[in-house]
Amino acid sequence: MSSNWVTRGGASVTTVKSLALSSLVRLIHCFLFFLITTKKKKKKLDTEAISAIGKHYMEGICWVMRYYYQGCPSWKWFYPHHFAPFAEDFKGVSKMLIDFELGTPFNPLEQLMGVFPAASGAKKKSLICLYAVYLGHLVPSPFRKLMVDTESPIYDFYPTDFAIDMNGKKMAWQGVALLPFVEEKRLLDAMKQVYPLVPEDELALNVRGPDRLFVGEQHPLYESLCSLYGLVRFLQP
């Protein structure tokens, strides 16, 4: 009896094993080639750019720490990259000089213009597009034109078609949207030109008011907060 058993497809088990082994060897060769090529490409990358990514990430960690323990260290700072660095890119951390420029926070309408999509240009009647249209109408009409008018100086901030990096992801919502970063100066300069066209009632909402903290008399921190900040009573009718 022959030791080369025959499978349903007509090929012997020995042949199948040989093909599987050959495929595995090819796969290993491809993997090694990928590692070597990637390593060579990485060496060619600008070392200063890689160092900048690591420094910006450390700035982000420091920003978060200061925000929660000392207050907002900067209203201007943002992480100017779509991805985090590798651990090996954190070099010279102890020598990094990290400082922040405080700046001033955006007014409400400026903040909305910095985060909303160009919703007014949505044509598809999907749930997402309808939601985008709703968001777009939360800003005054003169500002909506800055989003959708091709002649707008900040039209590039609001692309209607953009790439989503799905590397290692299965669902679209898990991907990284490769959107352009909004430049503060360009945004404010463009909005400054159309502020005169905004109705007064909408401009009245575009202010930063004082902070208010409401605490009931039964709250355990009531007495401490009153001693620190004073007491303002609201008389019941």
> Residue 226 contacts by C-beta under 8 Å, 6 or more apart in sequence?
none
Residue 161's pLDDT is what? 85
Residue 122's pLDDT is what? 44
Residue 57's pLDDT is what? 93
> Residue 124 contacts by C-beta under 8 Å, 6 or more apart in sequence?
none
Domain ranges of the chain: 13-95, 108-203
Low-confidence ranges of the chain (pLDDT < 50): 1-9, 11, 120-125, 127-128, 130-131, 235, 237
- Are the CB atoms for 140 and 198 separated by under 8 Å? yes
Query: What global pTM score does this model have?
Result: 0.65
Residue 183's pLDDT is what? 93
Mark 150-174 as b/e (b = at least 16 C-beta within 10 Å): eebebbebbeeeeeeeeeeeeeeee
Residue 76's pLDDT is what? 93
